[in-house]
């Protein structure tokens, strides 16, 4: 089964992105195909070099786990608006487009929005 996660929320400040990634990890363990599409403030979640306090969850590491078994796409317009370049984001995460999001939405068995 293919599940598309569309994430809109910032990486820290609330736990929507955190909980969405927890579900993505669980689906990956159950051998689902997972794609995470980050848009709006969620694109900041893919910024490389995040430093969080000891014992606090780290979204960069969580996205890295998705990248290893699935796919992480970022809205290019949202990146540009926030001053993020391709060099700023995690290895394996990819700049993408609304057209690509539309295609992945059509192909997905389930679409979850966080």
What pLDDT, in 10s, does the model give residues 95-114?
999 999 999 999 999 999 99
d(CA 9, CA 13): 9
Q: Is residue 93 a contact partner of residue 67, using CB atoms and an 8 Å limit?
A: yes
Q: For residue 20, give the CATH number of its domain.
A: 3.40.1260.10
Q: How does residue 55 score in pLDDT terms, banded at 50, 70 and 90?
A: confident
End-to-end CA, the chain = 19
Query: Average pLDDT of 50-76?
Result: 95
Q: Which domain holds residue 91?
A: 2-113
pLDDT for residue 5: 98
For residues 70 and 47, is the Cβ–Cβ distance under 8 A? no
**What is the model's pTM?**
0.95
| Structural domain count, the chain | 1
């Amino acid at each position: 089964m293919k599940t598309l996660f569309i994430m809109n929320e910032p990486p820290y400040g609330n736990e929507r992105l955190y909980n969405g990634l927890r579900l993505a990890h669980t689906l990956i363990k159950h051998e689902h195909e997972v794609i995470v599409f980050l848009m709006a403030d969620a694109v900041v979640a893919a910024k490389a070099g995040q430093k969080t306090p000891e014992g606090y969850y780290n979204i960069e590491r969580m996205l890295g786990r998705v990248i290893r078994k699935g796919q992480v796409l970022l809205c290019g317009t949202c990146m540009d608006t926030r001053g993020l370049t391709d060099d700023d984001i995690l290895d394996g995460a990819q700049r993408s487009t609304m057209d690509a999001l539309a295609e992945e939405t059509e192909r997905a068995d389930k679409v979850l929005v966080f």
